[in-house]
Structure 1
Amino acid sequence: MPHTAAADGTAIGFDVAGSGEPLGLLAGQANSRHWWDPVRADFAAVHRTVAPDTVGTGESDEPADGRYAVDRFAADVVAVLDELGIARAHVYGTSMGGRVAQRLALDHPDRVGALVIGCTSPGGAGALLADPEVVRPLALSKRQAREALLGLMFTPEYVRRHTGPYHVLGDPGMSLAARRGHKRASDAHDAWDELAGITAPTLVLHGSDDLFTPWTTRNAWPRASRGRNW
């Protein structure tokens, strides 16, 4: 599997599939590039898809400097694009990957073509938090946390019809330190006051039944539509 080096020397693993205009795929919190496995072939049929492992997941090392932060994750994506000689890529980020995608579009606007962000949040004053009863089971035993995540990520019917593997429940190879680092990075994300500075044409995707990242008419994204690209 190919690797590149982040600014601090950390090895960043990634893979490439398909051909066409490049598309970066950014996974959710505490998940590797395998987050995209169920739908990767659909994208790879029309795009050269590039899926990095965020530091601490998959084939990427834990950060050499110990720093987990969304801006760092975005800079690591740029290092992967540089390694591949890709000057500009479309970017699709979901959950924490959507936070990273926002930071990438803000900090490195020349590297982003079209931007798609799903089931994510801008953070800051406009963010809506999940109900404490929704997230409480995630701090319990591994079995209880897994059952809670299954309920948050899939409908009961889907779980009955599919026995797995489920690629969105976290990277089982992650260390506890890496998991905590991902959570801190995701929680600290705040692009609320900067949203209008995103110049890439942007599509926001969200589910009305999403309890983990709540959606209401007070959510950030409708208000962000005041920007010309939203």
Structure 2
Amino acid sequence: MIVTIVVVAVVAVPWSRGHRGRALRCARRSRTSPGGRGATAGRRSGGHGDRDGGRAVRFDSGKAVAADGAAIAYQSAGNSDGRPLVLLAGQANNHRWWDSSRGDFEDAGYRTITLDWRGLGDSDKPDGLYSTRGFAADVIAVLDEVGIAKAHVYGTSMGGRVAQWVAADFPGRVDSLVLGCTSPGGPHAVERDKSVRRTLAQADRATAERFLLELMYTPAWLATHQGPYYVLGDPDMTAAARRQHLTASAKHDAWDVLPSIAARTLVVHGTDDVFNPAANAPLLADRVPGARQVLIEGARHAYFDEFRGLAGAAVLEFLGSG
């Protein structure tokens, strides 16, 4: 039986960028940083500073070596003694996908770990086929590099597809699992409408990008938030790498292994998501044993940003209940 919670935005107003709501306490001060490109990106990501009580919050970056020798860039932020939480970004996006919300988890006592997928950011960009299952192995390489035996794993969009494989292939490494705005893939998944695919694939890139923004956010949000946006893809990514990511995401199919996932699982989705249709949420929640489901009323694909207060509170409650 699926346990479903519908979070209604009328009851709790979504946070605007740079504002913390009632669900989480936050104090902003300065972030300590070792310097370098990764550290600079972290400082840009919203100024998540030292937390209450003067506890220093570190932002470290480095590279792990994957099984095939590829270097995978990672970023670690928060108290080094905090509970580890891996945050996995969407297709063709780097770690800045989590800029607006990662600090909320750090404020709650978690150590966040992000990475740049192979093919983008500061990670290597090898030729060859990419897959969501292969990306999962890259996640484990990062955990090995930073000395984390077990972590909570929260993946959104393609990151949620990757998270399914992390939990299925490496069950001993996953404390609990959060699958956001994602899909089981394969013939059992609910695909986006053909008209959505056609509009995104059109030659006029400005029109396609605006359409993508409207898939991510509600009109009300876009009217009052002028960006910058970090959910539209890595601007420095090559066309070849974009195709590799698209293929990896499109060929994802974890349906057969979902029943084997032993980690406590939460499925989160916006009710108005047509980019990755919301009908995929109950498919996942019914397929993973004991999974719970949270639907955020009125949210589109980037629920974790626009409805950050509601989504973050729901995820934190789940992570803390295990």
TM-score category, normalised to shorter length:
over 0.9
User: Of 73, 76, 85, which aligns to 1:16?
Assistant: 76
Q: Percent identity?
A: 54
Q: Shift in Å at residue 56 of structure 1? A: 1.1
SS of residue in 1 equivalent to 2:232 = coil
Matched, 1:224 2:287: yes
Q: Give 1:174's aligned residue.
A: 237
User: Of 101, 126, 129, which aligns to 2:191?
Assistant: 129
Tell whether the 8 Å contact from 1:89 to 1:111 is kept in structure 2 after alignment: yes
Q: Shift in Å at residue 222 of structure 1? A: 4.5
Tell whether the 8 Å contact from 1:70 to 1:99 is kept in structure 2 after alignment: yes
SS of residue in 2 equivalent to 1:206 = strand
Tell whether the 8 Å contact from 2:105 to 2:112 is kept in structure 1 after alignment: yes
Matched, 1:72 2:123: no
Distance 1:220 1:123 in 2: 10
SS of residue in 2 equivalent to 1:55 = coil
Q: Shift in Å at residue 217 of structure 1? A: 8.4
The superposition leaves residues 132-151 of structure 1 with CA deviations (integer Å, 9 ceiling, x where unpaired) of 11121111222122111101
Q: Shift in Å at residue 229 of structure 1? A: 4.2
Q: Which runs of 5+ in 2 are unaligned?
A: 1-60, 293-322
Please tell me the root mean square deviation across aligned C-alpha atoms, in Å. 1.5
Matched, 1:6 2:89: no
Q: Give 1:162's aligned residue.
A: 225
Q: Aligned ranges for residues 44-123 of structure 1 at < 5 Å? A: 44-45=106-107, 46-63=109-126, 66-123=128-185
SS of residue in 2 equivalent to 1:193 = coil
Q: Which amino acid aligns with 1:51?
A: T
Q: Give 1:203's aligned residue.
A: 266
* TM-score normalized by the length of structure 2: 0.68
Q: Shift in Å at residue 216 of structure 1? A: 3.2
Between 24-33 and 131-140, the greater mean CA deviation after superposition: 131-140
* TM-score normalized by the length of structure 1: 0.95
Higher helix share: 1
The superposition leaves residues 33-92 of structure 1 with CA deviations (integer Å, 9 ceiling, x where unpaired) of 0000011110122211000111112111113x5231111100000000000010001000
Q: Which runs of 5+ in 1 are unaligned?
A: none
Q: Look at both structures and tell me which one has the larger radius of gyration over its CA atoms.
A: 2
Tell whether the 8 Å contact from 2:182 to 2:281 is kept in structure 1 after alignment: no
Distance 1:218 1:15 in 2: 29
Distance 1:207 1:229 in 2: 17
- Structure-2 change in CA distance of 1:204 and 1:58 (3 Å): same
Q: Which amino acid aligns with 2:251?
A: A
Distance 1:217 1:97 in 2: 15
User: Of 268, 273, 276, which aligns to 1:213?
Assistant: 276
| Alignment size in residue pairs | 228
